[in-house]
Amino acid sequence: MSLGGQEIAPALFLAPMEGITHSAFRRLLSDYGGYGALFTEMLSAGAFLQEKTLESPYTRRRPCEGKVIYQFGASGREDLEAVLRKVESLAPDAVDLNLGCPAPKIRAHGWGVSLAADFPRLRTVLERFRRAWPGTLTVKVRLGDDPERWREGFLERVRLFEDLGVDAMTVHARFSGEKLKRRPRWEEFAWIAARTRLPVIGNGDICAPEDLVRHREAFAPLAGLMLGRIAVVKPWIFRAFAGLPVEPPDHAELWDRHYRYLLEDMPPERAFGRLMDFTYYYAKNFLFGHELYRGVQKARTCEEIREAALRFLEAGPTPNRGTGVSFT
């Protein structure tokens, strides 16, 4: 797909995921490839100004990562002009504004869906982004707040994105009040894509290439696809979507490589929670994966997490067969 004049091929994106899509995880994905671009986790626009961005484990990028899109959470109270000047030193392939996160702490900051719902503030923030950032600008949205009456408000925002020169839009096909366990509304992609000239990237529970075949009509109008949790469970999954050969992974080796990458990038006290988060998803590869996760939950140090994880993974655990993974 063309994103702000640059070609993203394949049109496959790693979703921004707080606690997960730091540079060490992006490095792990780059060992497998198959994607077109990787999103950072959401970066607080305010905190970004204090960050040593070329060294920070969240904002630094390695050449092996390929195209990286920096996502920001912003309310408009920040010095956005300074943020966007500063991000230039990282040479982002695009900058993305988070308009879809519904978590209470994010709403309380006035970011995510709170910004999306406040039309005048949204306009001002986007105008400032567009003026201060000459490169590719994207947004990530949900469908809206009210499942009964969302279409008009959604289109009003799409017109705003078009008028202000946003280059593409990711649609996570759920409403603000819907948890990630709820079935996403893929059937809305076609309705949305038919009403905008912006490239639409579809997101939400896209777990296997077979999904695209089984739901061809839903996915055909999309310019690109974004994968989130499934890429944590199977960091090699983009290869399958890109039609590249997929080797069965050595799970213990993969888990340990991610551990090493993480501890190269950040001190153990920061790596600890991130190892937990990664292992929670990685455990879904196995029939008795809850035992893996339960084992690491007892750990008090990164080294103990490693011991527990490798004990499970080196014992040849039974894989979850088929596409296997369900987030519902």
Ligand X SMILES: Cc1cc2nc3c(=O)[nH]c(=O)nc-3n(C[C@H](O)[C@H](O)[C@H](O)COP(=O)(O)O)c2cc1C
Residues 213 and 6 sit within 8 Å (Cβ to Cβ):
no
3-state secondary structure of 79: coil
Should residue 180 be labelled a site residue for ligand X when binding is judged by CB under 6 A?
yes
Should residue 100 be labelled a site residue for ligand X when binding is judged by CB under 6 A?
yes
Active site residue 302: no
Residues 278 and 258 sit within 8 Å (Cβ to Cβ):
yes
Give the closest residue to 25 by CA, choosing from 257, 309, 319: 257
Q: Which of 172, 251, 258, 306 binds ligand X (CB under 6 A)?
A: 172
Q: Which residue is nearest to ligand X (CB)?
A: 228
In the 8-state DSSP scheme, what is residue 319? B
Nearer to ligand X, 44 or 196 (CB): 44
Q: Which of 65, 205, 211, 265 binds ligand X (CB under 6 A)?
A: 205
Does the annotation place 71 within a ligand binding site?
Answer: yes
Query: Using CA atoms, how far apart are residues 98 and 172, in angstroms rounded to an integer?
Result: 11
Q: Which of 34, 36, 204, 317 binds ligand X (CB under 6 A)?
A: 204
What part of residues 18-57 is at the interface with ligand X (CB under 6 A)? 18-20, 41-42
Which are the contacts of 314, defined by CB distance < 8 A and separation ≥ 6? 252
Stretch of 16-24, 160-168, 189-197, 257-265 lying at the interface with ligand X (CB under 6 A)? 16-24
Indicate which residue of 64, 101, 207, 302 is catalytic: 101
Using CA atoms of 237, 242, 243, 244 in order, give the dihedral in degrees to the nearest 10: -70
Residues 14 and 227 sit within 8 Å (Cβ to Cβ):
yes
Should residue 11 be labelled a site residue for ligand X when binding is judged by CB under 6 A?
no
Binding site for FMN, by residue number, is 71, 140, 172, 228-229
Q: Which residues bind ligand X (CB under 6 A)?
A: 15-20, 41-42, 71, 98, 100-101, 140, 172, 180, 203-206, 227-230
